[in-house]
Amino acid sequence: MRTIPLKYNLRSLRVRWLTTGLTVGGVALVVGTFVALMALASGLSHAIGGVADARNVVLLYRGGISEAMSRVSLGAFQALRFLPQIERGEREEPLASLESLVQINLERKSGGETMVILRGMRPIGLRVHHQARLAQGDWFTPGTGSCVVGRGIAERNVGCELGGTVRVGHTSFRITGVMEAGGGSTESEIWADLDAVVGAAHRDWYNSVAVRLREAALFDGFAAAVRSDPRIDLGVKTEAQYIEDQAEGAEGFRVIGLIVAAFMALGAALAEMNTMYSAVGSRTREIGTLRALGFRGPEILKSFLAEAVMLAIPGGLLGCAIGAMMDGFTMSVLSLATVSEVTFRFQVTPAILAAAFVFSVGIGLVGGMLPALQAARLPVLEALRKV
């Protein structure tokens, strides 16, 4: 079986340079939008969830779905903190962190106000949440009215740089450090001493407990011990499960992005189909000549499909390049789980770029299939009459 040379298709695309350019531009626009939407969903999912530690466990009020909607008593914490599955520090202190969340308002640099989370914890909490690290300054110190802010908060809000001040009611917290956590939700929080936060908020209850187990395999035993103790009326989740639950909303963005991309892809495929139909109509005599030279229908079908893909590939590459420029772009959204703002960065991953390229090839195949079939089925005598 002979194959029609690709230079035949390249010559055709070059001759029809205007329609070729418009089609390539349309595919590039669709693919660039696809990359941006997937990067948005990826960044948001990572920001809301973050990176889970297999040994970390989150305890909330039984039935609670998020820390903001949970209440934990001091008695329950005291009953669970000495369970044998919990890891101990150098001084044999349990790596169990009792924590309180308070929503506070900050002024955006871009104007208006936003609500963020102030998380109170004792210094042991820094050992549990070890993914966070200091980018500038020092960690908070109990009794000094100090706090550390996430990088996202420092970048987007007024007075939240190192040395600034955050107010909770009549209490002021001095910013002594800026932390980062690889783009996770920690970068949208403020951390301070637990007693200072609870006192500033005039509370006598807490929101959650985070613990670090000696081994990930001890989770089932730890959960059973918690459930069997009537003093501990708390639900237990691995950090990975808690993150997965909180990130469900980000999946909605991914689904919406796919739906939008599908509609745009349909438009691009129709535009390419129109271009290819035009190409077939203007080359009827050439098709007849090819048939007379012995090229059969399947060979002509493959040739025109290859031409359609050759139209889509430059658009796909250009769209990937445009979409890749969104990598690191910063946005913020309201997290319904914590009723606070979460700052996130678009994440353009190799997997997204690979999917976008395959997506562009798919547009070419879908848009070129019907015109290619028409060309392959064109009766030889009818085509030759136009020679």
Helix (H) or strand (E) holding 185: none
Provide the pLDDT for residue 136. Answer: 92
Rounded-to-integer distance, Cα 203 and Cα 194, Å:
11
Confidence at residue 382, expressed as pLDDT on a 0 to 100 scale: 61
Please give the helix or strand (H or E) that residue 189 lies within, else none.
strand 189-193
Q: H or E segment at 316?
A: helix 297-324
Contact 326, 336 (CB under 8 A): no
Task: Give Cα separations from 145 to 78, 126, 148, 157, 370 (angstroms).
Answer: 25, 17, 11, 20, 70
Domain residue ranges in the chain: 6-49+248-384, 63-232
Give the single-character DSSP code of 206. Answer: B
Percentage of the chain surpassing pLDDT 90? 35
Residues of the chain where predicted confidence (pLDDT) is lower than 70: 1-2, 4-6, 8-9, 46-52, 183, 246-254, 280-295, 297, 332-343, 378-387
DSSP labels, 72-125: B-HHHHHHHTT-TTB-B-TTS-B-EEEEEEEEEEEEBTTSSEEEEEEEEE-THH
Helices 239-246 & 248-282 angle (0-180, nearest 10): 60
Any bridge partners for residue 119, and if so which? 101, 191
Read off the amino acid at residue 16: R
Closest CA to 197 of 142, 160, 152: 142
Say what the pLDDT of residue 328 is.
77
Rounded distance between C-alpha atoms, residue 355 and residue 269, angstroms: 17
Q: Tokens for 304, please give them.
A: 């025109």
C-alpha–C-alpha distance, residues 128 and 186, integer Å: 13
The model's pLDDT over 262-283, given as tens digits with 9 standing for 90+, comes to 888 788 778 778 877 777 666 6
Structure confidence at residue 355 (pLDDT): 92
